[in-house]
Amino acid sequence: MKDFEQLSKKHFDKQANIYDETNTFYYSKFPKISCENVAEILKNYNYEKLLDIGCGTGYLIRLLQAQRQAQYFGIDISPNMIEVAKNKSKDHANFTVGSSSALPYADNTFDIVCCIQSFHHYPYPDKAIKEAYRVLKKHGLYILSDTGCGGIAKHFDNFIFKHFMRSGDYAVYSSKDIEKIMIKHHFKVIETIKLSNYIYTVIGKKQ
Ligand SMILES: C[S@@+](CC[C@H](N)C(=O)[O-])C[C@H]1O[C@@H](n2cnc3c(N)ncnc32)[C@H](O)[C@@H]1O
């Protein structure tokens, strides 16, 4: 199997300095749509500690810092994306280089864990969900927003990812697929929001 984590790291290390300004669908139009939706959702929640997995250049954390004081943590596999996030974040946030499948945080640490337009890069999706569950406090929220689809289009995309792409994209999922993975790992799905035909946000709660 290709080393998808290494490919993602290499790809985003190259993208880091232009990522925020690129403005194509994937970099960073769709991520901005997801981040803005998640920031809107989080206006309704009180929280003290939030983790953003696959935080990239830290756009979500900057949006959230502007609306609520809390402790913010971001983790990403690409050291260069993390470097940009650190340079752009004027308020204090804890940015770390690391993988979604081995989070360097203690059990039951966060009130909210987000994963924005990053899950389709994960070669170990079950491990990533288990890790998110582990670091969340009881009744904490896991908010996953991504681009994906179902049916033949999904199989076509995944074939292309597997055989032709070098950007670390591993697999796309429909929102129903994400709900199923969350439920399999003991989350209660509390809401699924369709942002377009391809972009969705799924909110799960640790029970
Ligand atoms: C499309 S970008 C989205 C970045 C950010 N969440 C946003 O919305 O702008 C995907 C991000 O996921 C990160 N990533 C990919 N695989 C990862 C993994 N296994 N663990 C942690 N981060 C990962 C990439 O380095 C990249 O920064």
Ligand 1 in contact with 201 (CB < 6 A)? no
Is the pTM here over 0.75, yes or no? yes
In the structure, what pLDDT confidence band is assigned to residue 141 with cuts at 50, 70 and 90? very high
Q: What percentage of the chain carries pLDDT values higher than 90?
A: 81
Q: Does domain 4-206 have CATH number 3.30.70.940?
A: no
Ligand 1 in contact with 121 (CB < 6 A)? yes
Ligand 1 in contact with 80 (CB < 6 A)? no
Torsions phi, psi for 159 (to 5 deg): -65, -45
| Whole-number average pLDDT of the chain | 94
Atom of ligand 1 nearest to the CA of 56: 27
Nearest to 93 by CA among 145, 44, 55: 55
Ligand 1 in contact with 31 (CB < 6 A)? yes
| Domain map (residue ranges) of the chain | 4-206
Tens-place pLDDT, residues 17-58: 999 888 766 667 899 999 999 999 999 999 999 999 999 999
Amino acid at 30: F
